[in-house]
Amino acid sequence: MKREEKHDVRIDVETAYLPDQSTPENNRYVFAYTITISNRGGVGAKLLNRHWVITDANGRTQEVRGEGVVGQQPHLMPGEQYRYTSGTALETPVGAMEGEYEMVDDEGEHFLAPIAPFSLRTPNTIN
């Protein structure tokens, strides 16, 4: 139980379809996602790496791994938030993303902050 209180990172996601960057006739659908990372734990933590699994409606999966997010490795003290926007392109009007952030706390302990699956979809899409 103490471990959960020590490492409590909440990740909230908002998504948007970007029609001006998309070309549906070429099977290119571009989405933005805004992530809010909240450190609700008892110790400061730094985001080291990201890992995304992106799946389109055809079942095609892309994995993305990299250092930090949008060129940053934010350090969050308890109660702090970090918000950023990024994007991805799919070949279908519907897809999903999920993943995790690799974090290290101020005591040097590494842990994973899971990112629950979320949908990417064009407006008026049923699925």
Left (φ > 0), alpha (ψ -120 to 50) or beta: where does 20 sit? alpha
Query: Which pTM value belongs to this model?
Result: 0.91
- In angstroms, the CA 124 to CA 52 distance is 26
Give the helix/strand (H/E) hosting 3.
helix 2-6
Domains and CATH numbers, the chain: 2-118 (2.60.40.1470)
Per-residue confidence in pLDDT tens, the chain, 127 aa = 344 489 999 999 999 999 999 999 999 999 999 999 999 999 999 999 999 999 999 999 999 999 999 999 999 999 999 999 999 999 999 999 999 999 999 999 999 999 999 999 999 766 5
Q: What is the pLDDT of residue 86?
A: 97
Question: What SS3 state is found at 23?
Answer: strand
Q: In Å, how far are 19, 24, 98, 114, 124 from 52, measured between CA atoms?
A: 23, 24, 6, 10, 26
Q: What is the pLDDT of residue 3?
A: 46
